[in-house]
Structure 1
Amino acid sequence: MVVRGLNGENEIKDLLGFYKKSFVKTPISYFEKRIKNDPYLIPADIRIAEIKGEISSSITVYRRKMWWKGEVIDFGGIGNVATLPDKRGQGLSSQLMNDSVKYMKELSLPISILFTGINKFYEKFNYFVIPAYQLKLKIADNNNSDFSVREFRAEDITRVMEIYYYFNKELRGPVYRDADYWKANLEFREENEIFLIAEKNGIIKGYIRIVPENEKGEIWEFAYSEIEAFVALLDKCAKVLRKQEIKTAALFPKDIFKDAAQFDVSYEPSAIAMALNINDDIIVTGQKSTQEPGIYCFWWTDNF
């Protein structure tokens, strides 16, 4: 067995064939869009275990930057962890995880983030659960709003980028988005995503991105400069989805809406976000840490 990174784009076809066999419920277009549009991905970031010339297991290391209390830091996202059905149970993913952690150290990435439902597997590599919550938002009819809500248009992107910047920069976890990443993010968004804008007097004050009937949750991202804009967006979503209570796929710190009286919020603890401290420059605190918990937020539109 050989463990390595992809040598070049000429191996992408073989990788997609591997994904088709390993991720039988995920359309191959999901992977094609992300490989094609990711502005930071290079072939070597896709780690593979090769047996007799065949890709048998693979992990992708995503090079990203995140907001960290007003600063921007690098991190490595772990995604697309898979092994061929007939090669499972042989420890291939474990060998690739060790390789991926070593690779991120070589890249001088201070922390790693992943999202999973099999926490015990990743705990073997010193990953730990980050304290975060999914929300259920319930709103009454809001027919007296001063805001108009409409669908996102391409010319809105500059203002949307500005709102995202100021909404997220003091949190820990949101992906830092430059113009290249914003372009990529919109290219690989879900096909049925609904992207809504709230504006008043022609000025955009907030936005929301929802994915109807998604089992993880329907609110994937939002940001606003005025809470009333968010209320108007929630009201519109309730009408579009035909439900008054909407769950987020995105993850938040507890009590992010502690001062919001315009809607009801319930917080559900989530254990799907995990982190690894690769060096001591940046320290992520986990659920069991005795330190003050971080203010962590992860938008599902950036999932990897």
Structure 2
Amino acid sequence: MNNNLDKSFEKCTPKDYEELLLVINEAFMKEEDNWFVKHLPHIFPEVEHATSREIANNRILKIDNKIVGCIGIYPLELETAYQGSKVNLTVGGIGTVCILKDYRNKGLMSFMLKETIKMMYDEGYDISWLIGDRLRYKNYGWDYSGRTCKFEIEYRQLVKLVDDTEKDIHLATIQDIPMLSSLYDNYENRASRSTDNWEINLERSNIAIKCCNDDSSKGYMIYEKENPKCILEIQGDSEHIESLLMKHMLDNELKQITVLHPYENSEVLSCLNRLASNLSINHCDQMNIINPEKLWDKLYPMIKEQCDKQNIDIANYEENDKRQLLEKIFAFDFFDRKDGDIRLEPINWWMSCIDKV
């Protein structure tokens, strides 16, 4: 990298926000003006409504006082279950990683990623999460983690398994948020969502939220409007899940759909497994341990209990030892384990596509 470049990497400010929106539109070659505000309003509010805090989530690279690149650190709270205990993790969701074409292949992306990791450590994040080229980001500490189930459901089989589909299914409104929030909390692993998050999701132009309920039970599902074949999220009792899927396939004339669900023990997963013609289990994108000491303190009671059963003393572990053990828990080395390695149950953490950045 040319270290003589007059560069800075800092939090975006309100005076730079409009320029940033133009830069990321250009860098990602979006033909639609203001694409990110229109399609990702949960992380890119409109200029007149964006708060200083929301704007500052975007870290901008300036060369000669011109914005040429960006990495977003979007804060998330992840609620996960481990060894029967609930653990809350602070997550730096990484998104909008870009550099304008004329500034690529100069080492600037590497510079930004290293600075971003330092920023996340200073800001107290436990872990970081992103989607992207694994071999590229692995060099900086990110790797496969978590597990997601993909159920393939065929209409011709569904009609044989489902009887009553006469439910009052409608597009969700603000009045449905208490129900949506209550059902969403049934996920063992999930990103925290406030009422404001739900309101923003209801207004997003790229997704649809359908729900149904009666006096005794209820359900909801979320899918991308441009890709109705993929159900991003579904919750509720079996009867309403069946109705939502059947009505969705009928309305969109679909022969087959894919339904995503975390790898966890639940009635929803059992229902989907019964309806599916095929199942695959995939990683849940890539995770990086930002603060091993902080994360170790949160998980230590559950780690110690498992190590005690294997007669393994971890009392004097150094930071590198702790990091390696934490990586095992997040299943970084799932396919590289050797005989004699410490065996710990993995965290089956998961994040819905709705919350991804």
Question: Is the deviation greater in 84-93 or in 259-268?
Answer: 259-268
**Residue 277 (structure 1) aligned with residue 289 (structure 2):** yes
Aligned to 1:233: 244
Q: Residue 124 of structure 1 corresponds to which residue in structure 2?
A: 139
Please state how far the C-alpha of 1:7 moved relative to its aligned partner: 4.7
Q: Distance in 1 between matches of 2:255 and 2:261?
A: 20
Shift of 1:238: 1.1
Structure number with the higher helix fraction is 2
Q: CA deviation at 1:223?
A: 1.7
Q: Secondary structure at the match of 2:17?
A: helix
Identify the match of residue 253 of structure 1 among 258, 263, 266.
263
Whether the 8 Å contact between 1:146 and 1:200 is mirrored in structure 2 is no
Map 1:27-176 → 2, pairs under 5 A:
27-32=32-37, 33=41, 34-36=43-45, 41-69=53-81, 70-116=86-132, 118-133=133-148, 134-139=150-155, 140-141=158-159, 142-145=162-165, 147-165=167-185, 167-168=186-187, 170-171=188-189, 174-176=190-192
Shift of 1:291: 3.3
Q: TM-score, normalised by structure 2?
A: 0.74
SS of residue paired to 1:218: strand
Using structure 1 for the length normalisation, give the TM-score: 0.85
Q: Which residue identity lines up with residue 176 of structure 2 in the other structure?
A: D
Structure ranking higher on relative contact order (CA contacts 8 Å, 6+ apart): 1
Aligned to 1:206: 219
Is 1:303 paired with 2:345? no
Q: Does the C-alpha gap of structure 1 residues 29 and 108 become closer, same or farther in structure 2, counting only changes over 3 Å? A: same
Distance 1:186 1:41 in 2: 22
Match in the other structure for 2:211? 197
Change in CA separation of 1:83 and 1:176 when aligned onto 2, cut-off 3 Å: same
Whole-angstrom distance in 2 between the partners of 1:40 and 1:164: 29
40-49 vs 253-262, which moves further:
253-262
Letter in 1 for 2:241: F
Residue 77 of structure 1: SS of its match in structure 2?
strand
Partners of 1:7 and 1:192 lie apart in 2 by 26
Shift of 1:146: 6.1
Counterparts in 2 of 1:211 and 1:109: CA distance versus 1, 3 Å: same
Q: Computing the radius of gyration over CA atoms, which structure comes out larger, 1 or 2?
A: 2
- Which of 247, 254, 263 does residue 275 from structure 2 map onto? 263
What SS class does the counterpart of residue 124 from structure 1 fall into?
helix
Identity of aligned residues (%): 20
Taking a change above 3 Å as real, the CA distance of residues 211 and 38 of structure 1, as seen in their structure-2 partners, is farther
In the TM superposition, what is the alpha-carbon distance from 1:130 to its structure 2 partner?
1.1
Q: C-alpha offsets along residues 223-247 of structure 1, whole Å, 9 cap, x if unaligned? A: 21x1221111111111122123212
Equivalent pairs, count: 293
Residue in structure 1 matched with residue 317 of structure 2 by the alignment? none
Q: Distance in 1 between matches of 2:195 and 2:52?
A: 13
C-alpha separation between the residues in 2 aligned to 1:297 and 1:7? Answer: 29
Q: Tell me, yes or no, if the aligned pair for 1:206 and 1:223 is still in contact at 8 Å.
A: yes
Structure 2 CA distance for aligned equivalents of residues 245 and 296 of structure 1: 27
Match of 1:18 in 2: 23
CA distance in 2, matches of 1:62, 1:76: 6
Asked if the contact 2:127–2:290 (Cα under 8 Å) also holds between the matched residues in 1, the reply is yes
Quick one: distance in 2 between partners of 1:100 and 1:60?
9
What code does the residue aligned with 1:129 have?
Y
Q: State the shift of 1:126 in Å.
A: 0.9
Instruction: Could you tell me which runs of 5 or more consecutive residues in structure 2 were left unpaired when the two chains were aligned.
Output: 1-5, 296-325, 335-342
RMSD of aligned C-alpha atoms? 2.7
Residue 26 of structure 2: SS of its match in structure 1? helix
